[in-house]
Amino acid sequence: MKRLTAGITIALSVSVATWTAASDDIEAVLQNSFVAKNQATMDRLERDAVQTACSAPRGLPLDNQSLTTLREERLNAVVMPADRQYLGDWQRGAEVAGNGRGLQSSDDPTQPNGGNCYACHQLAPDEVAYGTLGPSLTGYGARGQSEAMLQYTWTKLWDTHAYNLCSHMPRFGAQGILTEQQLKDVMAYLLDPTSPVNQATE
């Protein structure tokens, strides 16, 4: 528990001079306030360009040019499936959508990560335990399976910031949360006409 001592010492030494310049040393504050635990390592506190751009309190204005550049960078970095097959097995996709585990310090790293889509989206109409941070995706398959639709949905799942910089949705492909096969399975869960997502309720 050296760290608490460190935390208190830091608080002491910082208290005199730099109280107004919090953001200059926010990284240092975080480094002193956390400890690595299992797979949740300290490097997770470092931000990439998207995370930095999207951390402004209350959506402070960012300059348009750099936002556009960032978004285009994300779009160009999207990796489409090598075999151009976008759709996997919706039954396995249902598991991915319902699984909220993965990458937490308390999770078993040998188990596959989940996509936790239900935390934020309504999907199959008979599942009542769904969150509301994202729009309802019930009946999503009605949009069809055109090449444009497949690419749009894949891109959304791979890196949502390619279309909507600072979206609250995780970057499932770009951040390596889900594998290519899991993404295909979730795609099928969204788009397959026989998937529960696309069944009308009575």
Partner 1 sequence: MKRRNLGFTLFAVWLCSAQLAANDGVFDQYRDLMGDDNPAVFVIDEGEELWFTPQGPESATLEACDLGLGPGVTAGTYVRFPRYFADTDAVMDLESRLVHCMTTIQGRDLETVTAKPYSLRGDFGTEIEALVTWLAAESEGATIAPEQTHAAERAMYTLGEEIFYYRAGPHDFSCATCHEQSDMRIRLQALPDLTSHAGAAEAWGSWPAYRISQGLVRTMGWRLRDCFRQQRWPELQMGSEASIALQTYMAVNAAGGIMTAPGLKR
**Residue ranges binding ligand HEC (CB under 6 A):** 97, 115-117, 119-121, 133-135, 137, 153, 156-157, 160, 164, 167-170, 172, 186, 190
Tokens (6 digits) for 79: 């990796």
Q: How far is the CB of 2 from ligand HEC (least distance, A)?
A: 23
Nearest to 159 by CA among 48, 42, 41, 63: 48
Q: How far is the CB of 102 from partner 1 (least distance, A)?
A: 9
Contacts of 17 (CB under 8 A, 6+ apart): none
Residue 119 backbone dihedrals phi, psi, to 5 degrees:
-60, -30
* Residue number, 104 or 199, with CB nearest to ligand HEC: 104
Q: Which does 164 bind (CB under 5 to 8 A by kind): ligand HEC, partner 1, none?
A: ligand HEC
> 93 near 172, Cβ under 8 Å?
no
Q: Cα(152)–Cα(158) distance, rounded to whole angstroms?
A: 10
Token pair 């090449």 is found at 147
Neighbours of 171 (CB within 10 A): 20
Q: Which does 156 bind (CB under 5 to 8 A by kind): partner 1, ligand HEC, none?
A: ligand HEC
Q: Which does 40 bind (CB under 5 to 8 A by kind): partner 1, ligand HEC, none?
A: partner 1
Q: How far is the CB of 176 from partner 1 (least distance, A)?
A: 7
Q: How far is the CB of 58 from partner 1 (least distance, A)?
A: 7
**Binding interface with partner 1 (CB under 8 A):** 1-5, 7-8, 10-12, 14-16, 19-20, 22-23, 26, 29-30, 32-37, 40-42, 44-47, 50-51, 54-58, 100, 103-106, 118-120, 128-133, 168, 170-171, 175-177
Q: Cα(28)–Cα(18) distance, rounded to whole angstroms?
A: 13
What angle, 0 to 180 degrees and rounded to 10, lies between the N-to-C axes of helices 26-33 and 2-17?
A: 160
Q: How far is the CB of 184 from partner 1 (least distance, A)?
A: 20
* Residue number, 150 or 186, with CB nearest to ligand HEC: 186
Neighbours of 17 (CB within 10 A): 8
